[in-house]
Amino acid sequence: MNFKVVNAENSQTIVENEYGSVTQQLINAKCTEVSISHQTCQASLSLFGGHVLSWKPIGHDEVFWLSKSAVFDAKTAIRGGIPLCWPWFGPYGEAGNHGFARTSVWELSKVDVAQHSVTVELTLSGANFSQFWPNKFVVKQIITFSNTFSQQLIIENVSDEDFQFTDALHTYFSVSSPENVAIPELSNSSYHDKIKQLSNCQPKDVFDCIGPIDKIYHSDSSMTMFDKGWKRAIEINKSNSSQWVLWNPGKEIAAGMADIHQNGEDEFVCLEAANTNWITVKAGETAEVSQEIQVYKL
């Protein structure tokens, strides 16, 4: 497998000023990594997949989990960070899981290094990316790195016909252990348990994030993830997403996943802002989904 090897000799500076710098370099001579060093944070992303890899605000530990066994071969979806599941989430007939956005090369279309933040704009556009979803589109992803994090997808239908999509911002949050994590707001929401194949499950007072777990919660509310091991809280606000997906494969399933390093499943909880029901975008119109993340010490 092509695990992460960065060629620092090929590093190129995109923007540099008194507040910070943005550089790019190749991973395994195949994937372009964009690295951000700013007075508010350190961060990185991959143009392959339009994929946020890391974000570490000053004074805090890394917020996102990235597998030590993640594959960087410009073909395989990267394990960890924030994979973009679009234009479909989950299985889609013979098309496979989670769409093509996470396995396509995005264009770096804009970078702004300001006093309080770094904003990166990525673009993916075209048609016929998949025979199962041949629509013509332009998707802009606007990501702002600071002591807070925001991610916005602007989906434009530039075809002559309506199209539909589902999506998820498949965020892997780094945690001390899933058994130390609580997300109280999820206890108020009904859910679909994909492992047990049970729909319309009613809220429970007892809640945990220990895998294997794969649940779709029907809620558009904000969530706060409390980690008693690391004594920190992560607040996630979202817009235009009707579900939350809670996922961890657990030890047995993870053991069969080559791109999760040994015991890696004990280091993350996925909490994903998602639309698991089809959203229609009329011809010539746009749709937006977004999330904002803040970290607090407890």
In tens, the pLDDT along 172-193 reads: 999 999 999 999 999 889 999 9
Kindly give, in sequence order, each residue whose CB lies less than 8 Å from that of residue 266, ignoring residues fewer than 6 positions away: 177, 178, 251
State the amino acid at position 90 in one-letter form. G
The pLDDT value recorded for residue 206 is: 59
Could you give the CA distance from residue 245 to residue 191 in angstroms, rounded to a whole number? 9
Each domain of the chain, given as residue ranges in start order, spans 8-297
Could you give the CA distance from residue 88 to residue 191 in angstroms, rounded to a whole number? 20
Q: Which residues pair with 281 in a beta bridge?
A: 163
Are 250 and 265 in contact, with CB atoms under 8 Å apart? yes
Per-residue pLDDT of the chain (298 residues; tens, 9 = 90+): 444 545 555 789 999 999 999 999 998 878 999 999 999 999 999 999 999 999 999 999 999 999 999 999 999 999 999 999 999 999 898 888 999 999 999 999 999 999 999 999 999 999 999 999 999 999 999 999 999 999 999 999 999 999 999 999 999 999 999 999 999 999 889 999 999 999 989 887 657 899 999 999 999 999 999 999 999 999 999 999 999 999 999 999 999 999 999 999 999 999 999 999 999 999 999 999 999 999 999 9
Looking at beta carbons, which pairs linking 73-76 to residues 24 or more positions away fall under 8 Å? 73/1, 73/2, 73/28, 73/30, 73/31, 74/30, 74/31, 74/48, 74/105, 75/103, 76/103, 76/259
**What's the DSSP call for residue 107?**
E
pTM: 0.95
The pLDDT value recorded for residue 9 is: 59
The CATH classification number of 8-297 equals 2.70.98.10
Instruction: Report the SS3 class of residue 52.
Output: strand
The pLDDT value recorded for residue 1 is: 42
Of 63, 270, 241, residue with least CA distance to 148: 63
